[in-house]
Amino acid sequence: MHSRYHRRPADLPSLGRTVQVRLRVRRFYCRNAACPRQTFAERVSQLVVPFARRTRRLAEAQGRTGAALGGEAGARLLSQLSMPASADTVLRLLNRLPIPEQTESRVIGVDDWAKRKGRSYGTIVVDLEQHRVVDLLPDRTAATLADWLRRRPGVKVVARDRSTEYASAIAIGAPAAVQVADRWHLLANLRQAIERWLAGAHGRLRRLPAMCDGGDAVSAKRIGPFPCSAADEQGRADSRARRLALYGEVQRRRAAGEPLIAIARAMKLARGTVRNYAHASSFPERSARRPGHSIIDQHLPHLQARVAEGCEDAAVLWRELQARGFTGRARLVRSWLSERRRKPARTAPHRWRGRMPASPGSPDGSPVTPLPAARQLAWLLVQPAATLPTADAVAVARVEQDKDAAIVAMLARRFTALVRACNVGNQTDAVAAGAELDAWLAEAGKCGVTTMETFAAGLAKDVDAIRAALTTPWSNGQTEGQVNRLKTIKRQMYSHASFDLLRRRVLLAA
């Protein structure tokens, strides 16, 4: 023995106080004269690694805290737990934690996730049988995923969204694997296609005659906005003129052969706006907003009865409503009455001037009535007609007076029912679902509506994955949930984590 010295590594706390281990270590001579090291110290490897200032178990506890919370948050918590460490030390200990060994996955789901939304994306791979993340890939290209699949020949089923990049990657990297299209994405793509068609045909549909459901409750409610001032009307006109100019420029550039993304960049418009303008057969007018709930609604029966008796004095009606518990101002009653007055008022309302347009737009002077926006109509058209509320059913029936709209609605309901009613556990139902899918694709491909024909052609290119979606129990819904967990971890680090650190935290959390 040569000598002794002391080490003081930090250890796990005791009774809320920090602990240091005072360790006396022996140093020895080496009797071998040819050895380059003349002396050496004994190792206590089960307790502490050489030159470390903390024990193994303390280092693991601090690293696990960093895996759960990140560097800054982990350092703040550790200081309260009597295990102080800086944020950089927490991340360093986190990077030393071993990643658990992964078993062979048979059924996986793949989806993209945003490193920086709109700029860079990665790929997440989830084991659908074990409900855990298998790996994170640095991008969402076909080459990266195909290379990952080649190294794992045990993959038999891959669930994905409608991405053609992922479809080609699976076909290259795992050609024997069954591809399963996600059912939610099928319905979402259908609704998006219908919304694009409605955006272009909305002007035509709003000129269809309104339909009445015959209900007294609906007739008593407001069916349109209150009258607007002359300044508001002028502002709406100016806004429409600007949008009309943008629409004309997009149509001109599209006719010249420019791609949509180039038009969006040149005009500094959102790609969705450019797409709607380019595919619209006429200028897409804005829809009138449906009136929401008002404090006057509960008093409408009384107002209707008093107007039917011939009382059209807004001040009198307002005082009567006040006696009934109405807390609104007289202006609200006066605005409601102005839409139903049958004889001229003795004094015109000083706040409201000008006329109330039936609906924004109508440049050719043809009568138009309010209609739900394209996005809302698209949602209504994919719902079963029997489940719609009365007001929505009336709007859908009005739209279906148009021949093309009736075809779109019929095809949308059939496809939605086909996807929602598939029974993956019954082989007979699976065969029937496949036959129904083929019949739907054939009918939609020749329906005469370009949007639905294009949508059906896209489905036909991916028909095997869609048929698997209708006949197998796998879907990408679980993968979407894992993406939400990944986003939570990324935001804990204020989205500034490197890819390697983020991947390590996600895999350790799994």
- Residue 358 falls within a domain, yes or no? no
Among the listed residues 106, 128, 180, 191, the one whose alpha carbon sits nearest the alpha carbon of residue 470: 180
Separation of CA 125 from chain center: 19
Has residue 5 got a pLDDT over 70? yes
Element (H, E) at 127: strand 120-127
**Could you tell me if 69 and 172 lie in one domain?**
no
Task: State the total domains in the chain.
Answer: 4
Least confident of 212-216, 433-437, 464-468, 476-480: 212-216
Q: What is the pLDDT of residues 259-291, one digit of tens each?
A: 999 999 999 999 888 988 888 777 877 766 656
Can you give the pLDDT at residue 354? Answer: 41
**Could you tell me if 380 and 488 lie in one domain?**
no
Has residue 359 got a pLDDT over 60? no
121: exposed, middle or buried (Cβ count in 10 Å: 0-12, 13-18, 19+): middle
pLDDT band for position 351 (50/70/90)? very low
- Residues 453-462, mean pLDDT to the nearest whole number: 93
**Could you tell me if 75 and 147 lie in one domain?**
no
- Residue 45 falls within a domain, yes or no? yes
Among the listed residues 152, 207, 196, the one whose alpha carbon sits nearest the alpha carbon of residue 174: 152
Can you give the pLDDT at residue 363? Answer: 47
Return the residue matching tokens 């002396």. 39
Has residue 212 got a pLDDT over 90? no
Least confident of 27-41, 121-135, 289-303, 369-383: 289-303
Has residue 37 got a pLDDT over 60? yes
Can you give the pLDDT at residue 344? Answer: 61
Can you give the pLDDT at residue 84? Answer: 94
Can you give the pLDDT at residue 220? Answer: 44
How many angstroms separate the CA atoms of 49 and 164, rounded? 50
For the chain, give the percent of residues with pLDDT over 70: 88
**Could you tell me if 79 and 165 lie in one domain?**
no
**Could you tell me if 274 and 322 lie in one domain?**
yes
**Could you tell me if 222 and 329 lie in one domain?**
yes
For the entire predicted model, the pTM comes to 0.70
**Could you tell me if 111 and 91 lie in one domain?**
no
Element (H, E) at 4: strand 3-7
Last residue within a domain, chosen from 338, 363, 383: 338
- Residue 18 falls within a domain, yes or no? yes
**Could you tell me if 171 and 235 lie in one domain?**
no
**Could you tell me if 119 and 81 lie in one domain?**
no
Separation of CA 355 from chain center: 40
Q: What is the pLDDT of residues 218-229, one digit of tens each?
A: 344 455 555 566
- Residues 337-363, mean pLDDT to the nearest whole number: 53
The 8-class DSSP code of residue 38 comes to S
- Residue 360 falls within a domain, yes or no? no
Least confident of 43-47, 466-470, 494-498: 494-498
Last residue within a domain, chosen from 96, 121, 141: 96
Last residue within a domain, chosen from 27, 61, 96: 96
User: Contacts by 116-120 with C-beta closer than 8 Å and gap 24+?
Assistant: 116/495
Has residue 469 got a pLDDT over 60? yes
- Top-confidence range, 29-38, 91-100, 342-351, 421-430: 91-100
- Residue 204 falls within a domain, yes or no? no
Residue-range definition of the domain harbouring residue 224: 213-338
**Could you tell me if 402 and 482 lie in one domain?**
no
Three-state DSSP string of 429-479 = HHHHHHHHHHHHHHHHCCCCCHHHHHHHHHHHHCHHHHHHHHHCCCCCHHH
- Residue 482 falls within a domain, yes or no? yes
- Residues 411-425, mean pLDDT to the nearest whole number: 82
Q: Choose between 283 and 256: higher pLDDT.
A: 256
**Could you tell me if 459 and 412 lie in one domain?**
yes
Alpha-carbon torsion 32, 36, 39, 42, what sign? negative
Q: What is the pLDDT of residues 333-349, one digit of tens each?
A: 887 887 676 666 555 44
- Residues 177-201, mean pLDDT to the nearest whole number: 92
**Could you tell me if 442 and 481 lie in one domain?**
no
Q: Choose between 357 and 439: higher pLDDT.
A: 439
Provide the mean pLDDT of the chain: 85
Is the Cβ–Cβ distance between 113 and 122 less than 8 Å?
A: yes
- Residue 365 falls within a domain, yes or no? no
Q: What is the pLDDT of residues 85-143, one digit of tens each?
A: 999 999 999 999 988 888 889 999 999 999 888 889 999 999 999 999 999 999 999 99
- Residue 348 falls within a domain, yes or no? no
